Amino acid sequence: MKRFLSLSIALVFALPAGASAKRLDVKEITSNSVLTDAEKGIVYGADNMLDEQVATMWVEGEGSAGLGKYIEVQFDGDVELAKIRIWGGCFIDQEFFERHNRLAQIELKFTDFTSQKFDINDEMTPQWLELEEPKSVDKVKIYLRRVHEGNTWNDTAISQIQFFDKGGPTEWIEGMSATASSEYPDENNAYGAHLAVDGWLDTHWVEGAASGDGEFIDVDLGGSKSLSKFAITTGFDTTDGLFQGNNRAGKVTLAFSDGSTQKFDLADSRGLQVFDLKPVTASKVKVTFSGIRKGKTTDDLYIGEVRFAP
């Protein structure tokens, strides 16, 4: 039986140090095999691999490991493809990762009739795959060749996939850590500050005090960085009902380790909000929330992501 969770789950994942490449835009991603759960009305389509949500994923629909099935990626024009980063399994948590099949080998096939195979470690971390040499392509097919077998279900999932060229800075700084002024108490640490910097849009830090006004997250950038952009999602940004039902921040103040501050007004809307920063160099940032918009059902502030770009 195929079983997946469709809710916000806490997860931390490690990213490789020193990763530096520009992410490529994907125009369309499809597959010749997709699992559909008719009873629950859930389609585990290929586009789930692009939504940056841990609770969604692509799953092949063969009732088996899906070997020989493929994903087709159409880029937004010709690109220089050099690297791929892939989350090759169900990343909801370690238990679900082990219960389902995980990628062991994939093969990339290009329009010039060349191909390249990649072996993938059986580890619950995103893995970088580097082409032998960059390829000028407008599309690529990714075939399932081998899997690490799950201990419960014989199906194969990919939680996320990203594509990069050979140069340029990453869009967002990776490998950040975070602490907070308070956290909603939970024995599984399901609402910790680390979830605001984990790269997933459907995991959240939740404050543990009243309303969230004046609460803050301390972000460690992992060293001194020159910053140009700031991004944030505020509220329980999973459905419209949950978003309106919980508190959202209306204002944010960034206090940088160089002693400077910058303030921004936040829209009362779902999705990642991106702001240009006045040029600043810092190793840490204190992110303080105010102007709280009250939820209809609970008095808890949710923050999904805090990001900084060089």
203-218: average pLDDT: 93
Percent of the chain surpassing pLDDT 70: 92
Domain of 279 in residue numbering reads as 177-309
Residue 279 included in any domain: yes
Q: What is the mean pLDDT of the chain?
A: 90
Q: Domain count of the chain?
A: 2
Residue 14 included in any domain: no
The last residue of a domain, from among 164, 191, 220? 164
Question: 261 with 236, same domain?
Answer: yes
CATH no. for residue 147?
2.60.120.260
219-240: average pLDDT: 94
Picking from 66, 90, 62, the residue whose alpha carbon sits closest to that of residue 151 is: 90
Tens of pLDDT, residue by residue over 255-298, are: 999 999 999 999 999 999 999 999 999 999 999 999 999 999 99
161-170: average pLDDT: 78
Question: 264 with 142, same domain?
Answer: no
Residue 80 included in any domain: yes
Question: 43 with 111, same domain?
Answer: yes
Weakest mean pLDDT among 15-19, 24-28, 142-146, 167-171: 15-19
Q: How far is CA 113 from CA 18, 32, 109, 140, 272, in A?
A: 32, 19, 7, 11, 39
Tens of pLDDT, residue by residue over 57-113, are: 999 999 899 999 999 999 999 999 999 999 999 998 899 999 999 999 999 999 999
Residue type, 112: D
Question: 291 with 213, same domain?
Answer: yes
Question: 67 with 119, same domain?
Answer: yes
What b/e string do you get for 156-172 counting C-beta neighbours within 10 Å, with b at 16 or more? bbbbbbbbbeeeeebbb
The last residue of a domain, from among 164, 190, 214? 164
Residue 171 included in any domain: no
- Is residue 171 over pLDDT 90? no
Residue 97 included in any domain: yes
User: Mind spelling out the 3-state secondary structure of 73-86?
Assistant: EEEEEEEEEEEEEE
Per-residue tokens: 285: 């940032």
Residue 262 included in any domain: yes
Question: 132 with 245, same domain?
Answer: no
Question: 183 with 227, same domain?
Answer: yes
Residue 214 included in any domain: yes
Question: 35 with 137, same domain?
Answer: yes
Alpha helices in 217-280 (DSSP H): 240-245
pLDDT confidence tier of residue 170, bands split at 50, 70 and 90: low
- Is residue 188 over pLDDT 80? no
Question: 142 with 247, same domain?
Answer: no
Which pLDDT score is estimated for 21? 59
Question: 232 with 150, same domain?
Answer: no
